[in-house]
Structure 1
Amino acid sequence: MNRSVRSVATSLAIGFAVYFAARAVWWTVQPAVPLLMVAAILLYLIVVVTTVLLESPAGPQLPRWLAAVAVIVAAVIPIMASASLQPAHRTAPFATWYIGALGLLAVVCIVRRRAIAGWLVLAALAVSSAVCIGPLVSLELGLVGSMMWTVVAQLLVLFWDRAVHDTEHLADIQQAVSAWHATQLVRQRERRVRVKYALGVAGPVLTRTVAARGRLTDEDRLEARLAEGRLRDELRGASLLNDAVREAIQQARLRGATVTVFDEGGLDELDEGRRAEIRDELAEVLKRAEAGRVIIRAARDPKSAVTVVGRSGSGDSSDEDSVGLWHEIPRESPADVAHASSED
């Protein structure tokens, strides 16, 4: 779309430039200095074609040096064209070609995102034409039209930029909505998985409890406590769990330890590969843990992703000597840290 609009605008600009040049050479009166008139026409064509076609690394924006050349040319060409004619012929239709031609140059500068240069071109045209043929005559012979072109070009550029900005904003909103919708779908799928897991874990225990009318054996009570713990883990720390972590927590509870899992979003911003590494390391830590109470916490910390604390005895938080395990899993893997250090 942008390419087609640009090609149409380029074709129109070149077409109008050729029209004004052809109008300039359609002499009804022989210029006193023909070569000076031809030089003015060639200078205009070179500048306007270069201004229209020259590519810039900054995109559509005209290079600053070329914008300065356009302003200088706008001040020089009216003087050259008028100097090539006798005073009585300076208001002839072919003699005032530069008024519309330089108005076109001002429009090109504005469209190429050099608004100041475009208005300076128009100002230089107004001053030069007023000096050569008089201010009122220049207004009657086309200066008003050049001013209107310039104003319309400026408004169109402003409206176009606003439309592009609004389109980009709408695209960002649409992308955000799509991402939110995808997130909701993932969460719904996760909730279905959690419900299915909960039914698989708690269903048999509840069925036996109902069948036994609440009269449970010690083995049934142990299984109920384990099922409750697994459900609590799934609700509080789903992102920390995989099969190895679940098995390690299960073994710790079977030997009588109390395991608590808290997920506060510590793994939310990590990629899935690093999450898998953290879960594997967590499983190894839990297998070696011998504390009577184990707390697993994934907090939003800039350095640590998961902290594992093990306490023995009563687990009183005021007793510093009861801490028998303290392990922090960093957010970044050791390989990434070593790679970043080598680059530095």
Structure 2
Amino acid sequence: MTVRSIVSAIAVAFTAYLAARGLWWPRGDVDHPWIIFLALPLYLVVTWLWVAWGARRPAKAPRGAVPARQSSPPLWAAALALAVAVIVPNAVLFAVAPSSRTQPFATWVIGGVGALMTIVMVRRRPWVAWIGLALAAASVSLWIGILPALSLGLVGSIVWVAAAQLLMIALDSAARDTVQLAELQQAASAWQASQAGRQRERRVQVQRALQAAGPILGRTIETGGNLRPPERLEARLAEGRLRDELRGPRLLDDIVRAELESARRRGITVTMLDEGGLEGLSEPELVTIREELARILESASSRRLIIRTSPHHQTAVTIVGRSGDGDGLSDEDSVELWHEIPRVR
């Protein structure tokens, strides 16, 4: 049994109790009992319609999701509620003898309509609730006067409806806060996952750097920097491998690493720069780019190679081969190789 079903059962029992009060009157105090016998079922049918609206159990929401707010009853149900707020008080007070219109079997309509408008308010129809309560208050006041109406239950009905509206406002605010909290939690989880991924990537890069440069660094410290020519070559190669791992990790695989080392052993100075543009590529597309990059490195003969990723929508990687040692490209005659690897085949 859910909280909703318990509250609905209480609402049905309470409104039935209010209506039952209108069936117990002394002889001679009601001039037209048949009108009451028609008004009571009308009140109960419309009230219980509002209580039972949306009672069908909604689909189970995913774990961690905020349940969707149920829809309000349609306009025709609101029109029925307003009709009851006008018809039932006037019908009951008309059917009762003038001398008995302040008796409980007549004034139950004040609390009855107040209970109905409280249900209407809970069902997200605030304007209908207040209009219906105002119509009922005006009808009762015309029959028995405004002060007797206030003392016989109208104040309580106003308090019920106002309390229901404040409760709905508080629940809506809590629902918004819950949604914001869920969004913040999802953002925090995503941030933690990204940080964990970056930490793993950094650990892998550090391990590769240690594998590449660790032995030669140890040898450099051991000899005080007095390395033999083969050791100096290994130091330059280790430095190149370390720069590659830090500057262009997305362009690297075992084949590309081998071709980079082979090119450096041939005397080629290789500079690799990942300047963005590969974020939206899938792993198969990156594999294709690496394969083409490895082929270019295998056949390169320039003294200097500059490999840059590109944010251009058509070009993924640009490879420039130069015959000089300068860093710039002002001398067009020194450019021996210009190759662009496209993003999409």
CA deviation digits over 1:246-301, x for unaligned, max 9?
A: 23433333344333333345344x47xx13531442332332353634444446x4
Q: Secondary structure at the match of 1:324?
A: strand
> What is the aligned partner in structure 2 of residue 285 from structure 1?
293
> What is the aligned partner in structure 1 of residue 64 from structure 2?
none
> What is the aligned partner in structure 2 of residue 340 from structure 1?
none
Distance 1:303 1:35 in 2: 82
For the pair 1:64 / 2:62, whether they are aligned, the reply is no
Distance 1:176 1:43 in 2: 52
> What is the aligned partner in structure 2 of residue 325 from structure 1?
338
Partners of 1:31 and 1:37 within 8 A in 2: no
Instruction: For 2:318, give the aligned amino acid.
Output: V
Distance 2:20 2:284 in 1: 74
Partners of 2:256 and 2:290 within 8 A in 1: yes
The 1:68/1:250 distance shift into structure 2, 3 A limit, reads farther
Instruction: For 1:24, give the aligned amino acid.
Output: G
> What is the aligned partner in structure 2 of residue 135 from structure 1?
146
Distance 2:39 2:139 in 1: 14
The 1:51/1:328 distance shift into structure 2, 3 A limit, reads farther
Instruction: For 2:183, give the aligned amino acid.
Output: D
Q: Which moved more, 1:24-33 or 1:109-118?
A: 24-33
Partners of 2:252 and 2:290 within 8 A in 1: no
> What is the aligned partner in structure 2 of residue 338 from structure 1?
none
> 1:1-344 maps to which residues of 2 (within 5 A)?
4-29=2-27, 31-55=30-54, 59-65=69-75, 66-268=77-279, 270=280, 274-289=282-297, 290=300, 292=302, 293-298=304-309, 301=311, 303=313, 306-314=316-324, 316-319=328-331, 322=335, 324-330=337-343
Q: Secondary structure at the match of 2:270?
A: strand
RMSD of aligned Cα (Å) = 2.8
The 1:120/1:214 distance shift into structure 2, 3 A limit, reads same
Partners of 2:292 and 2:341 within 8 A in 1: no
Partners of 2:289 and 2:341 within 8 A in 1: no
Partners of 2:8 and 2:51 within 8 A in 1: yes
Instruction: Tell me how far 1:143 sits from its aligned partner.
Output: 0.5
Instruction: Tell me how far 1:153 sits from its aligned partner.
Output: 0.8
Instruction: Tell me how far 1:157 sits from its aligned partner.
Output: 1.1
The 1:4/1:256 distance shift into structure 2, 3 A limit, reads farther
Instruction: For 2:246, give the aligned amino acid.
Output: L
Partners of 2:315 and 2:340 within 8 A in 1: no
Partners of 2:117 and 2:130 within 8 A in 1: yes
Instruction: For 2:37, give the aligned amino acid.
Output: V
Partners of 2:319 and 2:339 within 8 A in 1: yes
CA deviation digits over 1:217-264, x for unaligned, max 9?
A: 433222222211111122222333333332343333334433333334
Aligned residues: 326
The 1:254/1:4 distance shift into structure 2, 3 A limit, reads farther
Q: Secondary structure at the match of 1:303?
A: coil
Instruction: For 2:34, give the aligned amino acid.
Output: L
> What is the aligned partner in structure 1 of residue 62 from structure 2?
none
Instruction: Tell me how far 1:147 sits from its aligned partner.
Output: 0.3
Q: Which moved more, 1:181-190 or 1:40-49?
A: 181-190
Instruction: Tell me how far 1:92 sits from its aligned partner.
Output: 1.6
Q: Secondary structure at the match of 2:164?
A: helix
Distance 2:117 2:292 in 1: 73
The 1:186/1:130 distance shift into structure 2, 3 A limit, reads same
Q: Which moved more, 1:107-116 or 1:181-190?
A: 181-190
CA deviation digits over 1:73-102, x for unaligned, max 9?
A: 212221122222222222220112221111
Q: Secondary structure at the match of 2:226?
A: coil
Q: Which moved more, 1:86-95 or 1:246-255?
A: 246-255
Gaps of 5+ in 1: 335-344
Q: Secondary structure at the match of 1:25?
A: coil
